[in-house]
Amino acid sequence: MSDLSPWPEGVARHVLPRCASTNAEALSHAARHPGPAWIVTHDQYQGRGRRGRDWAMPAGNFAGSLALRPAGDPAQAALYSFVAALAVADAIAAVAGPAARLALKWPNDVLLNGGKVAGILLESAGHGGAVSALAVGIGVNLAATPPADPDAPFAPVSVAAETGITITPEDFLDLLAPAFAAWEGRLLTEGFAPIRRAFLARAARLGETITARTGRVALVGRFDGIDEGGALLLTTPAGRQSVPAADVYF
């Protein structure tokens, strides 16, 4: 494992024995406190994934959320999903070393050796077109895999099973928090462009044919990247399409 970077200045850290949802805790924290805070639990019993799906958490896995009060509108807040994906990949790489095959699946999954090892869920609160609180939820299969979802595009994998390396959620947070702070710093000072380049450098199946399902519609085309707002760029027989939200299948 690589040397630890310092814990980011001004960021609080809370480890809970048990809670329903770290995202819910993060939104509550952000409503009461101005500063950012990581909230991690050893037992999350009502975790959520995209589109309201359940997120199971076997013992020893990482469930955590970063509570933020970002500036800007919902579209700008949504870019934190890419920041989180890059940070999770960096943290896993620090644990697993160069032999681990890591890839980022648009819009919110991290793949390890071809299986899903982590997922990201952003939830926000606000009014009048402004975001007053943002929870950046992250789940990582460190120790064990949850039951496989037959409708999921990838089978779940764990860091322990794929690499033989074990790490506690607290130690993983020590890697994740500095990585997130570094990428967030670039987003705030340089804009989305460097985040977009870094994401595409690790993007799974870039340039290949994929299927993007949006509700009942399935779009099939070549994955040609993401645009300046983070939307999927898909070249289909009908031409280039920008897809802001979808489930992607390879």
Mean pLDDT of the chain: 92
Tokens found for residue 121: 């869920």
Q: Give yes or no for a contact between 25 and 12, defined as CB atoms under 8 angstroms apart.
A: no
d(C-alpha 181, C-alpha 74), whole Å: 20
Q: Give yes or no for a contact between 210 and 248, defined as CB atoms under 8 angstroms apart.
A: yes
pLDDT per residue as tens digits for the range 123-159: 999 887 789 999 999 999 999 998 887 777 789 999 9
CA angle at 113 for the pair 107 and 116, rounded to the nearest 5°: 40
Polymer length of the chain: 250
**Amino acid occupying residue 240:** R
- Mean pLDDT is lowest, of 112-121, 167-176, 208-217, 222-231, for 208-217
Q: Which pLDDT belongs to residue 2?
A: 47
- Complete domains list, the chain, with CATH: 12-202 (3.30.930.10), 209-249 (2.30.30.100)
Percentage of the chain modeled with pLDDT above 70:
96
d(C-alpha 181, C-alpha 5), whole Å: 11
Q: Give yes or no for a contact between 125 and 115, defined as CB atoms under 8 angstroms apart.
A: no
Q: Which pLDDT belongs to residue 52?
A: 55
Say if residue 150 is exposed, middle or buried (CB neighbours under 10 Å; 0-12, 13-18, 19+). Answer: exposed
Straight-line distance from the first to the last Cα atom of the chain, in angstroms, rounded to the nearest whole number: 32
Nearest CA to 138 out of 64, 40, 82, 39 is that of 64
Q: Which pLDDT belongs to residue 129?
A: 79
d(C-alpha 63, C-alpha 167), whole Å: 13
Pairing mode of beta strands 37-41, 12-16: parallel
- The pLDDT of 179-200, averaged and rounded, is 98
Nearest CA to 246 out of 209, 221, 206, 218 is that of 218
SS3 category, 226: strand
- The pLDDT of 106-128, averaged and rounded, is 93
pLDDT per residue as tens digits for the range 53-107: 666 789 999 999 999 999 889 999 999 999 999 999 999 999 998 878 999 999 8
User: Within 13 A of 246's CA, how many CA atoms are on the CB side?
Assistant: 26
Q: Categorize the per-residue pLDDT at 3 as very low, low, confident or very high, splitting at 50, 70 and 90.
A: low
